[in-house]
Structure 1
């Protein structure tokens, strides 16, 4: 081997040894509590292989109801989940250390679907209304609107835990409940089955912090690199959700098990077009709304500051680097 060949081989060896190593793949379980469009970002991130791009081997786990997800998180079975702020508040009031890292759902997407014979809010008294589980977004928002109408939940109206959104629709169909809280695309299926919308909670004019990235503060401390990678994948998934309609519709169809194009289009338009911002910062105003409403029943909630429920340091780091801006300038 002559000197030129030796020099070339040495140069190649130095080049590859100096090249940055690809991040080691980390296995990660991620929970989601419902099969409606508010889960669109995490579904698209998974299906577009963006978690893998950032060195994460993510297993998506469906557990109906955010309160059940919280139980799994506190048992350290699931480190990260896509859940809304009411579940975070309730858990932390009981001593948990949950924290929201990103939250693109700034408006409620739920609708109160009822039997045709229920014509107005006054007809709700004495009826049974379904929610997924107590402590979830569905439960919070239903209680909120009933209180706004001067109707006492659990006294004048029975609230029934159904388990999941699909079970609410099944309960309506079987006559087991008189109404229930559903989001698109399932509320559209209910319309086609002959039920009617009594109120569209997205149109009541309030900010509300729905589903977002939630973990524990202890997990953030122990796994900062995983958190950083997860959020980079997530904001890239949000970009894909907002800019690739056809791909996103296919993903929504897969996870919601809804095949009708009109239902999927309306779901996509609500979440990807109308509600979700490019940078998924949670809404502090929406968190305050939830704290005030819970505080009417549990005064301890009034002592909680909205910013104590979030950690935006990683999202701000990603945003300030120009990563999010660059995605939309492609």
Structure 2
């Protein structure tokens, strides 16, 4: 009996390293994420990927740049998550009958700037001119319309708005003189500035709360894959923490994903956005409300919409109440 027990224990000890090896080599689940652009607003995702945060949860995360069609990629089911959706894109899709919801947001300000050719000195000078945006219906389009109305101009009447395909493409359109101004986010905004284009208007000065770095899913996906969504969000929170506390690592990640080697541009971009990233990434009902108020001018259904209809805060609330976020950031 003792010999048999000894043999069983010996076999168990011999197999233990093998079982660990098999577990370690288990294939990771591929998870696809849509992003509107490779910009700093999506950098918690890029940092989380390169830091191995998703792999801890058995995920191999791949992102697809979808421009202004990010919400369509999510709703269409070609991706499981959309990082960089906003308080403009999600409500507009839901009000049109789509299945989508915001589960987190890593920045709640309108962090876009409009840059122009040197002869443009004010927003009023854009009358009769063309402004480039990533795509019609996206966040840069929303920010542009808001800024123009603030200056007393009527979008599409006084000023033409042209979708050019993305934020880097907007810089290219400025260089090609296809547009006289363009709405940008870092790092492209600093690329444009360094190329001699004038900072015409900073949208953050409008004082509008805005979900500018939102994480979206389909409600049906969340119901069926709640644990996976929670683990994805955990990795994103870790990515945001590393992003805001480890500048050198963050700059290396940004250089890799943006393919921008100019350290000055990357450092300026990082310094500009770093204070705006949220530690506890709740999508703000106020940001949704501010956006709906503006959106109602073009989409009447938005006027009486309830901001809570576009938000599911339950995962962030759970990660806050069980002190996961505190464990990541420290007290």
TM-score, scaled relative to structure 1: 0.92
Question: Is residue 73 of structure 2 the alignment partner of residue 72 of structure 1?
Answer: yes
C-alpha contact (below 8 Å) 2:296/2:302 kept by paired residues: yes
| Aligned with residue 224 of structure 2, among 222, 240, 249 | 222
Alignment of 1:162-241 (within 5 A): 162-241=164-243
SS class of match (1:292): helix
The residue that corresponds to 1:93 in the other structure is 95
Secondary structure of 1:246's partner?
A: helix
Q: Does 1:252 align with 2:254?
A: yes
Q: Deviations over 1:259-313 (max 9, x none)?
A: 12221112112222x1012111122211111100011222211222111111111
Q: Indicate the SS of the match to 1:199.
A: strand
Q: Is the 8 A contact 2:66 2:73 kept in 1?
A: no
* Corresponding position of 2:276: 275
Q: Separation in 2 of the partners of 1:319 and 1:276?
A: 16
Answer with 125-134 or 76-85: which moved more.
76-85
SS in 2 for 1:113: strand
Contact 2:211–2:283 (CA under 8 A) maintained in structure 1: yes
Report the counterpart of residue 316 of structure 2 in structure 1: 315
- In 2: Cα distance, 1:326 partner to 1:24 partner: 28
Residue deviations 1:209-231, cap 9 Å, x none?
11221010010011112111111
Inter-partner Cα distance in structure 2 for 1:108 and 1:123: 23
Question: Where does structure 1 lack aligned partners over 5 or more consecutive residues?
Answer: none
Cα distance in 1 for residues equivalent to 2:257 and 2:4: 60
- Contact 1:109-1:202 within 8 A present in 2 as well: yes
RMSD: 2.3
Tell whether the 8 Å contact from 1:55 to 1:229 is kept in structure 2 after alignment. Answer: no
Task: Find the aligned partners of 1:85 and 1:257 in 2 and give their Cα distance.
Answer: 28
Superposed displacement of residue 75, structure 1: 2.0
Please name the residue that 1:146 is paired with: 148
Q: Number of aligned residue pairs: give it.
A: 325
Could you say which residue in structure 1 is the equivalent of 2:61? 58
1:289 aligned onto 2:290: yes
Quote the Cα distance in structure 1 between the aligned partners of 2:72 and 2:211.
Answer: 20
1:327 aligns with 2:325: no
Query: Structure 2: how far apart are the matches of 1:239 and 1:224?
Result: 23
TM-score norm. by structure 2 comes to 0.92
Q: Distance in 2 between matches of 1:296 and 1:60?
A: 33
Q: Note the C-alpha offset of 1:5.
A: 2.2
Supply the distance in 1 between the matched residues of 2:196 and 2:211 (Cα, whole angstroms).
30
Q: Are the equivalent residues in 2 in contact too, given 1:110–1:200 (CA < 8 A)?
A: yes
Query: Residue 149 of structure 1: CA displacement?
Result: 1.4
Retained in 1: the 8 A contact 2:131–2:179? yes
In structure 1, distance between residues paired with 2:286 and 2:268: 26
Instruction: After TM superposition, list the pairs within 5 Å mapping 1:38-53 onto structure 2.
Output: 38-53=41-56
Gaps of 5+ in 2: none
